Amino acid sequence: MKKVITYGTFDLIHNGHINILRRAKEMGDYLIVAISTDEFNKIKNKKAYHSYENRKAILEAIRYVDEVIPEETWEQKVEDVIKHDVDLFVMGDDWKGKFDFLKEYCEVVYLPRTVGISTSKIKEDLFRVNNG
């Protein structure tokens, strides 16, 4: 069984997230998503609209996702890959090259981001719509 892992905040789930989750799953048999905790989001300087619990529940409802684990630190990836017996690490190509150190432990693939959508774009567009 080919196990795939990916990481992210996945706030205000949108088609860009769905595209990478679907493609990551299609590259293997089992997809683990490590979702950033609220505390780790502070370290990433990200403020999620949905709490960790809600973002986790939403991800678990997505057909491509087999397991959701917490992402609490930048340093946990090697341990995760070993502990969960992961064969393939997938991230959007805005992270291209940043996780190549994992190549010692598993395949590393960066997939093209979906153009025209992001959580921050959603927030900006909603702000504009509601503020004229």
Would you count residue 80 as binding ligand C2G (CB under 6 A)? no
User: Which one from 2, 3, 42, 46 is the annotated catalytic residue?
Assistant: 46
Q: d(Cα 57, Cα 93) in Å, to the nearest integer?
A: 26
28 near ligand C2G, judged by CB under 6 A = no
How far apart are alpha carbons 75 and 21 in whole angstroms? 22
* Binding segment (CB under 6 A) for ligand C2G, from list 7-15, 81-89, 101-109, 123-131: 7-15
Quote the CA–CA distance of 117 and 114 in Å, as a whole number: 7
Is 77 among the catalytic positions?
no
76 binds ligand C2G (CB under 6 A): no
44 has catalytic annotation: yes
- 8 Å CB contact between 9 and 45: no
Hey, which bits of the chain come out as E strands?
3-8, 30-36, 67-71, 88-92, 107-111
The verdict on 94 binding ligand C2G (CB under 6 A) reads yes
Examine residue 17 and tell whether it contacts ligand C2G (CB under 6 A): yes
Chain residues in the site for ligand C2G (CB under 6 A)? 7-10, 16-17, 20, 36, 44, 46, 71, 91-92, 94, 113-114, 117-118
